[in-house]
Structure 1
């Protein structure tokens, strides 16, 4: 799914209006029907609505939603700045339609101070949409602060009021904190970054059937990894194949006390389907790896830490899980990289060793995949003021070094050398545990070994990792799920893929 800016989305609306037999007010009705349908289907225990509407088209959506849900049997109260004030043309139409109906009161914002917000009340936020490009004014700031203090569910239409669709909020900005955001047609970039995403709650994308011609022909560098994309990337196993058909994956990792990381990476490589899997680790991990991963072949790389990175040339390597940062390991890793011409996966301590000197970045083989979390990224490339700017720096470095960067976060971003960004929306906070990144390294190594391109490897691998975590969370909870549980769910994810999700 492509991600468009607020400006592009407005152009998309206008393009649809100009090419199809639909007017702007009809398109507003289409959007409002979609919102009303979602609320009526998902909020059956709530029959009381307090709808807060601005004077623009987002407010017009709210006014139409109020009317539609009233007709569906909801008890509806509408709040506006001034019922006699100036509204946008389409919002004015919906305000008139509302006034023509009996049973819905239209009140001023300040009357909400004495309103009874009980636990069955839904607050509908239709104050400002994607067009807002400035902080809220004083009156709206007071109102939003009051609504944020209410102990009831808040649903924002399109974007939470006060939040820009395309930029990070300033630290002191007042923004409505939604439990759900019902956005139109596509994700907004801001929703996918932690500084702004914390205001959206759960995001639901409502399809308004806007022009497909516009979306196909309009360029963007930003995408969301959705089911359609995954179906196009995934390659089912051929019936007439053998272990040689699916490559050789080698996991180089582990050190005294950190063999578990190598175990998790090796298990996930095996579970993801590599034809042959090797574990290059120090001798202190021999019994652990051979016992826990008997399907993998062991290669001795040292005694208590790896000092020898000799791996067969036809192997795809994933280096880093539990590697440690011993000087001898660092020296030999850099020596290996200087002579390596094949793309590989670098994670964890491999990145920490490289980051000790910025000159080491040039030794990362072209087309390789690196998987830093934010702190590792900072050690490699420097600090930034927010995650938007960190991503833009990642785009610069991916192009400069000709590598793929998997920037791990709540919505992990895959950054290509061409500057394209794919946001992943599978996964959950249960992955916030040591060992989760090691699993991803094993998955990526296995997919690359099987012949997926680097871009396909990153997109599919990150999605698989997150989807397995979602299944694990359903079984064990986000608190109690373990990285090993995520590995064990990979098989169920492949079953979903084989059954077309």
Structure 2
């Protein structure tokens, strides 16, 4: 699914109005209808709604929403800014609302002394994506007040005060929603931690915007959806054998930290690797043979890995709890210099490379690195926020010719072609040691199965998150473990097949 800027979304609205054709007022009605359907299905226990409407098209949609909800039997109160001019369509809907005697209409100034009833819902239809100025004092005071009211809150289009495309300033005041009803598209700010926190749970509502515009309009930013994943996923040929699905070699583990090697190996096995090898120190031999009997063990040293005996036709994933002992660093750098095939790098492999910026240039072209924010910082430098971190990641992916899987709540896959794919599977239950080790194993296995580096990264991150969602449903976010995630990979593949 494409991510468009606020201007592109506005252009899509305009194109739809012109080429469908449809009156702008009727498009506003579609917005309202889609919101009413969602609200009716999700707030069946609520009867009272307070709708705060701006003077532009978002407010016009809120006024249309107020009218339709009233006719469906809800108790509706509307708040507006009487002192500002309304857009043509917003004014048309305001006149229709004022003709309904049972809908009370108040000015924003009356909010402070208003008696809000319990078990009601506040609906924010103030700005949407259309705000191209700073909120004035009256609007800022209103948003601050509404954020203090202890009621369920729904934002229409996006939380008022939030930009669709950019990081917020420190002093920006933003409506804090529990649910956000967005139309047709994800906005970029929904997907970053500093701004997404204001959105609550995001729901995409289809308002039948022009498919022709959506297909033709260019963008370099996407959300990973089921349609994309189904296009990537390769159904297994019945006349295949273990050699068909590649050789995966995991290089991981050190004394006292063999769990990471187990998790990476198990996830590689569970995600389809034909033949799986694990290079690990002798101290972990018994653990690995017991927990991962399907994998072939290769001796990497005594208590740490310092000699890598790798098959030339194997795809390597390296780093989980590898350690940074001098002999390991030396052996790893010699190995890196001798390789020209794409590999997957994580954890201590990245920490070793971070010690010298010249080491970055030794990473083979089309390799995949999977840093969390701190590892990214050690590799490429500190940034002020996740938006700037993403931009730096794009520069480095193009410069080095590699794929960067930038782990976050909505992990970003950055390609050398300057594309970004945001993942929306996964949950906070995966914020546990070992989750990243599982991801390395999954991506390496997919790369070994002849998925392209781009597809392996996208599919691997989505699989990892989807399995995490199934594990959270079964065990809870608090109690789920990375091993539970790995065990759910089979159910994810079954859902695709």
TM-score, normalised by the number of residues in structure 1: 0.98
Q: Distance in 2 between matches of 1:396 and 1:487?
A: 33
* Residue of structure 1 equivalent to 2:325: 326
The answer to whether the 8 A contact 1:320-1:349 is kept is yes
Q: Distance in 1 between matches of 2:153 and 2:75?
A: 16
* Residue of structure 2 equivalent to 1:486: 485
Q: Distance in 1 between matches of 2:39 and 2:75?
A: 13
The answer to whether the 8 A contact 1:135-1:174 is kept is no
The answer to whether the 8 A contact 2:160-2:174 is kept is yes
Q: Secondary structure at the match of 1:418?
A: coil
Q: Secondary structure at the match of 1:8?
A: helix
Q: CA deviation at 1:85?
A: 4.2
* Residue of structure 1 equivalent to 2:43: 43
* Residue of structure 2 equivalent to 1:21: 21
The answer to whether the 8 A contact 1:318-1:442 is kept is yes
Q: Distance in 2 between matches of 1:24 and 1:264?
A: 54
* Residue of structure 2 equivalent to 1:159: 158
* Residue of structure 1 equivalent to 2:449: 450
Q: CA deviation at 1:489?
A: 0.6
Q: How does 1:339-378 map to 2 (within 5 A)?
A: 339-378=338-377
Q: Distance in 2 between matches of 1:216 and 1:21?
A: 18
My pick for the range that moved more, 96-105 or 218-227, is 96-105
Q: Secondary structure at the match of 2:276?
A: strand
Q: Distance in 1 between matches of 2:116 and 2:493?
A: 46
Structure 1 unaligned segments of length 5 or more: list them: none
The answer to whether the 8 A contact 1:3-1:188 is kept is yes
Q: CA deviation at 1:118?
A: 3.4
Q: What's the CA shift string for 1:266-288, capped at 9, x where partnerless?
A: 00000001001111100111000
Q: Distance in 1 between matches of 2:117 and 2:225?
A: 37
Q: CA deviation at 1:126?
A: 0.5
Matched, 1:32 2:32: yes
Matched, 1:435 2:434: yes
Root-mean-square deviation over aligned CA pairs: 0.9
Q: How does 1:5-84 map to 2 (within 5 A)?
A: 5-82=5-82
Q: What's the CA shift string for 1:303-332, capped at 9, x where partnerless?
A: 100001221011110000111111111111
Q: Distance in 2 between matches of 1:363 and 1:416?
A: 18
Q: CA deviation at 1:34?
A: 0.5
Matched, 1:174 2:173: yes
The answer to whether the 8 A contact 2:298-2:309 is kept is no
Q: Secondary structure at the match of 1:463?
A: helix
TM-score, normalised by the number of residues in structure 2: 0.99
Q: Distance in 2 between matches of 1:47 and 1:94?
A: 22
Q: How does 1:222-241 map to 2 (within 5 A)?
A: 222-241=221-240
Q: How does 1:130-149 map to 2 (within 5 A)?
A: 130-149=129-148
- Give the 3 Å change call, closer, same or farther, for CA 134–194 of structure 1 in structure 2: farther
* Residue of structure 2 equivalent to 1:416: 415
Q: What's the CA shift string for 1:353-404, capped at 9, x where partnerless?
A: 1000101001000000000001000000001111111101111100100000
Q: Distance in 1 between matches of 2:341 and 2:118?
A: 59
Q: Distance in 2 between matches of 1:89 and 1:429?
A: 44
Q: How does 1:185-264 map to 2 (within 5 A)?
A: 185-264=184-263
* Residue of structure 2 equivalent to 1:99: 98
Structure 2 unaligned segments of length 5 or more: list them: none
My pick for the range that moved more, 138-147 or 105-114, is 105-114
Q: Distance in 2 between matches of 1:321 and 1:311?
A: 17
The answer to whether the 8 A contact 2:254-2:280 is kept is yes
Q: CA deviation at 1:110?
A: 2.2
* Residue of structure 1 equivalent to 2:86: 87
Q: CA deviation at 1:21?
A: 2.4
Q: How does 1:269-288 map to 2 (within 5 A)?
A: 269-288=268-287
